[in-house]
Amino acid sequence: MNVGIPSVLASYTGGARRVAAEGDSVAALLADLDRQFPGLRFRMVDERGRLRRHVRVFVNGEAIRDLDVAVREADDVQILQALSGG
Amino acid sequence: MVTNTAGDRDLTLWIGTKKGAFRLSAGRGRNGFELDGPEFLGHIIHHVVADPRDDRQLLAAAKTGHLGPTVFRSEDGGRNWLEASQPPAFAAPKDGRKADAVDVVYWLTPGHASEAGVWYAGTSPEGLFRSEDGGANWAPVAGWNDHPSWIEWTGDGERANPGGSPLHSILVDPRDAQHLYFATSSGGVFESLDAGANWSLLNDGMMADFLPDPHPEYGYDPHCVIQHPAAPDVLYQQNHCGIYRMHRPEGRWERIGRNMPAEVGDIGFAIVSHPRDPDVAWVFPMDGTDVWPRTPPGHRPAVYRTLDAGGSWQRLDRGLPERAWYTVYRQAMANDDGDPVGVYFGTTCGEVWASFDEGEHWQCLAAHLPDIYSVEVAEARP
C-alpha cells in the first residue's frame, strides 16, 4: 500500500512523499519502510518501540499510537509530524 | 580538544547550533576566517568533533524537533555525510528496570590514539555508547548503562535539569585506553580503569550546595570536566557549584574557584586548559545568584584565566561588549595548540569570539548564528 511520508523524513525516501510498503500491521509497514529506507524507522520510533513524541501515524484518518494496529491494502496510512515552537 | 582537519585550511572551528552545524576556517597564522554552512539546516546539532587519528573523519550528534537522535559521520572532512547505521540506543532493560530511550546524543569523544575507529558518545538520559567502526554502529557500554547503581547514581530522571540529563565530558586517558572518565549532571564524576566494565565515583571534595547535605556520595552537578593533555593526572572541572582542580593521585577536588572575585563567583559551564602548561586554564563565569540567570555576572561578559593552577584569576574582557545577557554552554569553549594559544567561545546569541593571545584581546569572528551549543577546534597537522 502507499504510505504518506512527512517532509522531515523525505531525506530518507529520496524526496518521495508517498512510497509503497508491505505489511499487515503498522509495525510491519514501518519495518518494511526501514528495509527500503534504512534509518527511517529509528527517527520516528524509539528503542522501546514507541512513536516519538512529535510523530503521528494516521490510519484512515484516525491517529494511532499502538503500532500493532492491523492494516489492509485499501487503508490510507499517513505519517505526519506535529511540532510547534522555535 | 584539538584535532586535525582535511583541506587547505590550517584551523577549523566546528560550531554546533540549535539549527545546524557551521564551520569557521582560517589559513596560516589563523588569518582570514571564513564561515561555511550550515550543514543539517534545521537539525539540532549538539556536537561536531573531528578525529585526531584521521584527518578526514568527523562525527556530528544530531536530532530535530520532530525526529529521534542520531549521529552523522563524514569521511571527507565534512563535504559529505552519512547517517550511522545503528545510532546510540539503549538495550532492553534488565532486572525490572523501566525501559529508557535516548532523547539526545549530546557528547562525542574520539577513542584512544591506539584504537583507530573507536568513539564514545554520551546521551541524555545518561547513556554511554561506543563505536568501533568510526561511528557507523554504536553499542551500549553495559558496564555503565546496566550498572546496578545506575538508578541511584542518575536519579532515573528525577533529578533531570532543565536541559535534560546529559552524560558528558567523556575523557580517555592519553596514557591508557582502558582509563576513562565522564560526568553526569545529577551524579558527579565517574571513573573506569577497565574500559568501562566497572565504574566508581570520583566526587571527594566537590560541593552540592543545593542539597541538604552538600557533600553526599553522589548527586553533584559537574558541568564540564577536562583532563590536561600534557599532564593527564591534572583534571579541571567547572561545576554547578564552583571551579575545581584535582591531581588524580590525591583523588580530591580542590575548589580553586574560591579564589575568584566574590562579586563574580565561580559558577559557569565551560572550562578549557592550556595545551602545554597544566597550571593555565580559562573559564567564562555565569551569574548563579537568585534564580540562576546564567548570564555574565553584572551583565559584563568576561573570560577569567588562571596562570597558577587556580591560585589567582585575571579578568580578560578587552574587546568584549560592555553589556551582554548571553550564555556560554559547556561545549561552547575551546582552545587551539598555537603559541600563543588561541581561545574561542560561542554564545547563545550566535556569536563566535576568539582571542589569539591567550585571552588578552578578543574579536568577534561570526555573529547572527543560531544559539551555539558547541565549538570544537580542528588543526591541520604541520
* Model pLDDT for residues B158-197, shown as the tens digit of each residue: 777 767 899 999 999 999 999 999 999 999 999 999 999 9
Cis peptide before B232 (omega within 30 of 0): no
Rounded to the nearest angstrom, the minimum Cα separation between A35 and chain B is 12
What integer pLDDT is reported at residue B98 of this predicted model? Answer: 86
Domain coverage including residue B317: 105-372
Is the pLDDT assigned to residue B295 strictly greater than 50?
yes
Please tell me which of the candidates B66, B70, B101 has its beta carbon nearest to residue A8. Answer: B66
Residue B221 in any domain: the answer is yes
Is the pLDDT assigned to residue B6 strictly greater than 70?
no
**Interchain contact, B65 vs A85, CB within 8 Å:** yes
What digits encode the pLDDT tens for the residues B130-157? Answer: 999 999 999 999 999 999 999 999 988 7
What integer pLDDT is reported at residue B8 of this predicted model? Answer: 55
Residue B96 in any domain: the answer is no
Specify the range with the lowest mean pLDDT, choosing from B43-52, B173-182, B289-298.
B289-298
What digits encode the pLDDT tens for the residues B232-269? Answer: 999 999 999 999 999 999 999 999 999 999 999 999 99
A37 contacts in chain B (CB < 8 Å):
none
Residue B381 in any domain: the answer is no
Residue B180 in any domain: the answer is yes
Query: Total structural domains in chain B?
Result: 1
B145 contacts in chain A (CB < 8 Å):
none
Q: Is the dihedral of CA B57, B59, B60, B62 positive or negative?
A: positive
Residue B3 in any domain: the answer is no
Rounded to the nearest angstrom, the minimum Cα separation between B382 and chain A is 38
Residue B222 in any domain: the answer is yes
Query: Which residues make Cβ contacts (< 8 Å) with residue A70, sequence separation at least 6?
Result: A24, A25
Domains and CATH numbers, chain A: 2-81 (3.10.20.30)
Return the residue of A nearest to B62 by Cα.
A43
- Please give the mean pLDDT across all residues of chain B: 94
Q: DSSP secondary structure string, B251-300?
A: ---B-GGGGS-TTT-S-EEEEEE-SS-TT-EEEEE---STT---S-GGG-
Residue B86 in any domain: the answer is no
What integer pLDDT is reported at residue B5 of this predicted model? Answer: 45
Is the pLDDT assigned to residue B213 strictly greater than 60?
yes
Q: Are B18 and B346 contacting, i.e. CB atoms less than 8 angstroms apart? A: no
Q: Using CB atoms within 10 Å of the CB of residue A6, give its burial: 0 to 12 exposed, 13 to 18 middle, 19+ buried.
A: middle
Locate all alpha helices (DSSP H) within chain B, ordered by sequence: 142-145, 150-154
Please tell me which of the candidates A45, A46, A55 has its beta carbon nearest to residue B66. Answer: A55
**Interchain contact, B87 vs A42, CB within 8 Å:** yes
What integer pLDDT is reported at residue B64 of this predicted model? Answer: 87
Rounded to the nearest angstrom, the minimum Cα separation between B203 and chain A is 32
B83 contacts in chain A (CB < 8 Å):
39
Q: How crowded is residue A51: how many other Cβ atoms within 10 Å of its Cβ? A: 19
Rounded to the nearest angstrom, the minimum Cα separation between B112 and chain A is 28
Single pTM value for the model? 0.95
Q: Are B73 and B134 contacting, i.e. CB atoms less than 8 angstroms apart? A: yes
The pLDDT > 70 percentage for chain B reads: 97
**Interchain contact, B66 vs A6, CB within 8 Å:** yes
**Rounded CA separation A65/A51 (Å):** 7
- How many contacts (CB atoms, under 8 Å) link A and B? 48
Residue B259 in any domain: the answer is yes
Domain containing B301 — which CATH number? 2.130.10.10
Q: Which of B79, B163, B201 is nearest to B331 (CA)?
A: B163
**What is the average per-residue pLDDT within B205-209?**
94
